[in-house]
Amino acid sequence: MDKIIINGGKKLKGEVKISGSKNAALPILIATLLTDDKCTIKNVPDLEDINTVIALLRHLGKKIHRKEDIITVSADKNIRSDAPYELVCKMRASVLVAGPLLARFKKADISLPGGCAIGLRPINIHLDGFKRLGAKYKINKGDVFLKASKLKASKIILDFPSVGATENLLMTSTLVEGETIIENAAIEPEIADLVNFLINCGAKISGIGTSKLKVFGVKKLKGCTYTVMSDRIETGTYIISSAITNGDIKIIGSIMEHNESLIEKIRVAGAKVSRKNGSLKIKGSGKIKSIDVETQVFPGFPTDLQPLWMTLMTVSRGESVITETVFENRLRTVAELIRMGADIKIKGSSAFVKGVKNLTGTKVVASDLRSAAALILAGLAAKGKTEITGLEHLYRGYENIVGKLKNLGADIKLIKKQRVMSNG
Ligand code: UD1
């Protein structure tokens, strides 16, 4: 079992460069299914989720070439239209292939992702949207079969501004004749990055960055070269890591506007945040104030940073309430933080946190991607040695986090599972 060992108490100092956004790179790579032309995608992070999407695209018939952070996708053979359970269960974002496959081949057979560590995560909003575009679907033994004789442009009002559903319906409608309007669309920055990529491929989309997207279907999309935006959740992770260690770090390559809700909160909590020549400086104050947070869709406080904020609050002065409104199971880090000495009580979807003087290092297990990052932050702040397992979750979404934190002066190491070598 791989583990991370942290000897806590070091103030982080120095510079860290932010990688390309996982949640933007995934739909953009999947959107290459909309064309047979070659697409070159730059600034793609080196992550397990990216390996999964590459395996999925290869399974569907795409040829992939990867060199450092550049991935080239071209058509290899006839594209298949099925996404098997083995790949979908590894990563829910695999359901995003449904949109492009439906648009191009008028059919898609996708395994349902099922529940996952942070909640039920159904795909009803995606399916309702496909129906509005003229597709029919049936669900059998955990697979959904979508087909359409002809897709038609439509007005779709999403029940909830789901990020994945907005992306799926956007991709489909780029190739549907006529004008499709998606209302109550998600406005997370990753959507705008996908829209920019699609526009570079020849799609006609207006309303970028707003909750009303208009898509004018075109006959064909072409290939392009596109650079993925930087990862706002990784940025947020380093912002909080500086505050929790009373550090002084410079973050390079992030987009400040993507983290405004976090920056506003962390300033009130006492950290100093400044921007200079495109980089962000975060300086801890040594005294963290207790500040309540409720997760919301963008531009509200992101659910992906909620477990990290809660970790910061465990060592704050006073009491705070952290409320999760987007995913039902995203308070799972609490049990592990309590093992480290945190004082947290859960009532419904809220966590009531009383700040303690310090956390104490111990053995903890990550239950999902962001809980893994939260436990790393807890380990950085804790007294003594913290040992974190469950790292398969971390590998999905943080590029070289151990190396980056080490560079910032953390006492952290990754111990990879020893391979047992036989002599025979
Ligand atoms: C994406 C992000 C994830 C982030 C989330 C919210 C990727 C790969 N993942 O996930 O990191 O935490 O946005 O910002 O980009 N829902 C339904 N029915 C649906 C679709 C969603 O009920 O058809 C519910 C979900 O169960 C969840 C909420 O809506 O409770 C938000 O989901 P959604 O915005 O779709 O998130 P994802 O696209 O899965």
CATH number, position 45: 3.65.10.10
Same domain, 110 and 253: no
pLDDT tens profile 170-199 = 999 999 999 999 999 999 999 999 999 999
Q: Which of 165, 117, 163 is nearest to 307 (CA)?
A: 117
**Which atom of ligand 1 approaches the CA of 49 most closely?**
8
CB 158 within 8 A of CB 183: yes
Domain final residue, candidates 207, 227, 247: 227
Same domain, 104 and 118: yes
Query: Phi then psi for 239, rounded to 5 degrees?
Result: -60, -50
**What does the block give as tokens for 307?**
């477990």
Lowest-pLDDT range of 2-11, 270-279, 314-323, 324-333: 324-333
SS3 content of the chain, % helix, strand, coil (to 5): 35, 30, 40
Same domain, 12 and 34: no
Lowest-pLDDT range of 87-91, 191-195, 202-206, 309-313: 87-91
Give Cα separations from 322 to 34, 245, 273, 325, 374 (angstroms): 41, 21, 22, 10, 14
Domain final residue, candidates 176, 199, 227: 227
- The yes-or-no verdict on residue 363 having pLDDT over 60 is yes
- The helix-helix angle for 22-31 and 48-60 (nearest 10°) equals 10
User: What pLDDT, on a 0 to 100 scale, did the predictor assign at position 218?
Assistant: 98
User: What pLDDT, on a 0 to 100 scale, did the predictor assign at position 342?
Assistant: 98
Task: State how far the Cα of 258 lies from the Cα of 254, in Å rounded to an integer.
Answer: 8
Task: Specify the 3-state DSSP secondary structure of 414.
Answer: strand
103 Cα: distance to centroid of ligand 1 (angstroms): 22
Same domain, 55 and 11: no
Same domain, 326 and 347: yes
Same domain, 189 and 277: no
**Which atom of ligand 1 approaches the CA of 186 most closely?**
34
Same domain, 32 and 82: yes
122 Cα: distance to centroid of ligand 1 (angstroms): 9
| Single-letter amino acid, residue 180 | T
119 Cα: distance to centroid of ligand 1 (angstroms): 10
User: What pLDDT, on a 0 to 100 scale, did the predictor assign at position 329?
Assistant: 79
The residue segments making up the domain with residue 141 are: 22-227
pLDDT tens profile 156-166 = 999 999 999 99
Ligand 1 pocket check for 124: Cβ under 6 Å: yes
pLDDT tens profile 37-95 = 999 999 999 999 999 999 999 999 999 999 999 999 998 778 888 888 888 888 888 89
Query: Phi then psi for 366, rounded to 5 degrees?
Result: -80, 140
Same domain, 285 and 416: yes
pLDDT tens profile 238-283 = 999 999 999 999 999 999 999 999 999 999 999 999 998 889 999 9
**Which atom of ligand 1 approaches the CA of 303 most closely?**
12
Output 80 or 134, whichever has higher pLDDT: 134
CB 10 within 8 A of CB 381: no
Same domain, 284 and 406: yes
Task: State how far the Cα of 91 lies from the Cα of 69, in Å rounded to an integer.
Answer: 20
328 Cα: distance to centroid of ligand 1 (angstroms): 11
**Which atom of ligand 1 approaches the CA of 91 most closely?**
8
Same domain, 151 and 237: no
Pocket test for ligand 1, best of 88, 132, 160 (most atoms within 8 A of CB): 160
**What does the block give as tokens for 157?**
């009002």
Ligand 1 pocket check for 409: Cβ under 6 Å: no
Task: State how far the Cα of 162 lies from the Cα of 101, in Å rounded to an integer.
Answer: 20
Domain final residue, candidates 209, 227, 245: 227
Full DSSP string of 54-121: HHHHHHHTEEEEEETTEEEEEE-SPPP-EE-HHHHTT-GGGGGGHHHHHHHHSEEEEE----BTTB--
CB 14 within 8 A of CB 249: yes
Q: Which of 136, 141, 133, 140 is nearest to 165 (CA)?
A: 133
Q: What is the DSSP letter of 230?
A: B
Counted domains in the chain: 2
Q: Point out the residues that are catalytic.
A: 116
CB 289 within 8 A of CB 317: yes
297 Cα: distance to centroid of ligand 1 (angstroms): 10
Task: State how far the Cα of 280 lies from the Cα of 274, in Å rounded to an integer.
Answer: 6
Ligand 1 pocket check for 342: Cβ under 6 Å: no
Same domain, 217 and 322: no
pLDDT tens profile 388-417 = 999 999 999 999 999 999 999 999 999 998
Confidence of residue 330 (pLDDT cuts 50, 70, 90): confident
Same domain, 357 and 289: yes
Q: Which of 198, 299, 207 is nearest to 256 (CA)?
A: 299
Task: State how far the Cα of 130 lies from the Cα of 17, in Å rounded to an integer.
Answer: 39
Ligand 1 pocket check for 168: Cβ under 6 Å: no
- Which residue is it, tokens 């986090």? 401
Q: Which of 74, 30, 37, 62 is nearest to 228 (CA)?
A: 30
Q: Which of 205, 209, 207 is nearest to 255 (CA)?
A: 209
Task: Specify the 3-state DSSP secondary structure of 242.
Answer: helix
Task: State how far the Cα of 192 lies from the Cα of 291, in Å rounded to an integer.
Answer: 30
Task: State how far the Cα of 59 lies from the Cα of 83, in Å rounded to an integer.
Answer: 8
Give the 3-state DSSP-derived string for 343-371, with helices as H, strands as E and coil as C. EEEEECCEEEEECCCCCECCEEECCCHHH
Kindly report the protein residue whose alpha carbon is nearest to atom 15 of ligand 1: 23
Pocket test for ligand 1, best of 90, 116, 121 (most atoms within 8 A of CB): 121
Rg, the chain, Cα only: 22
**Which atom of ligand 1 approaches the CA of 92 most closely?**
39
315 Cα: distance to centroid of ligand 1 (angstroms): 30
User: What pLDDT, on a 0 to 100 scale, did the predictor assign at position 421?
Assistant: 46
Task: State how far the Cα of 80 lies from the Cα of 284, in Å rounded to an integer.
Answer: 52
